[in-house]
Amino acid sequence: MNYRKLRNIEVSSIGYGCMGFSHGYGEIPSEEEAIRLMRLAYDKGCTFFDTAEVYGDGHNERLVGKAIEPFREHIILASKLFIDSEAVGDSFESLEAHIRAHLDASLEKLRTDYLDIYYQHRVNDDIPVEDVARVMGKLIVEGKIRGWGQSQPIAEQIRRAHEITPLTAVQSEYSMMERQFEQDVIPTCKELNIGFVPFSPLASGFLSGKYSNEDQYQGDDVRRVITRFNKENVNKNQPLIDLIQKYADEQQATPAQISLAWMLYKEPFIVPIPGMRKENRVDENLGAADVKLTDEAYLALEHELSKIQIYGNRTDKDIAKLQDME
């Protein structure tokens, strides 16, 4: 495994997105299997584990806490909180109390007394990012967190917060199918020495090339509402899968590994966190760290990607629809 830095925190170049062990992709593995897979990933060199208080309504933090407890001091642990503007009110004191209460609850579930990175899970326009940054700065001084970050911010929000308390990382969706943050967010992170942590780096698995227009999704599965998985869009996006497969064949790799290697090539501060709910996925995704694109191959791939139109996307608004579906 290779290692990178999110500002001043060293992590494995491929992290572990743990959400899928609790919800989001249909039937979940057993607790025993989830713990086994996370510990297997650690044995293979993965030192970066990501969760959030809302994943499974606390289930994911409890599960991750149990899995990483034997080696907690040797890994980087990140979690996220939603800040409820109605619950916070208008005062800085109430915001601070709100964040502290959420952090304490997460620490208890995660069986630890500190987090390495604590993200604001979506930036709330009703609450000044400067105030959130001030609270995070206090928590860093106290040792309750080592660093902090934002999820899905725009560049202006990053800059405003960073002036108060420097951010460690920004976590946002990024993949070959979702590249909007290349315009200004990733360049801003580069300028300010902030790590960039892509979630859904394989476009919810689409880039693995394992899906067809015949696949059916049931229950708590976000692919029911992510439009790139619509039957029509699956067909329209086939040229992308064909292109990735071509490079995978040339590199003796898998499409998922090429998708991750493409991302790792771009910047040394980019650290994707794919989900891995099966042992072969752990081997495959962590193995992407060893797939090296040459300059020539990368530039050729970028040129081909620029000619491909992407159909469908993944939005918070669409995912919210899942709550109302049977």
Q: Which residues are catalytic?
A: 55
Structure tokens at 30: 């057993």
Type of residue at 280: N
d(CA 31, CA 21): 8
Residues 257 and 250: their CA atoms lie apart, in Å, by 12
Lookup result for tokens 């928590």: 139
Dihedral sign (CA 45, 26, 237, 249): positive
**CA nearest 133: which of 110, 160, 114, 155?**
160
| Dihedral pair phi/psi, residue 253, rounded to 5° | -130, -175
Torsion, Cα 126 192 258 118, to 10 degrees, reads: -50
Three-class secondary structure assignment of 122-178: CCCCCCCHHHHHHHHHHHHHHCCEEEEEEECCCHHHHHHHHHHCCCCEEEEECECCE
CA-wise closest residue to 140 among 85, 183, 99: 99
Beta bridge partners of 151: 171
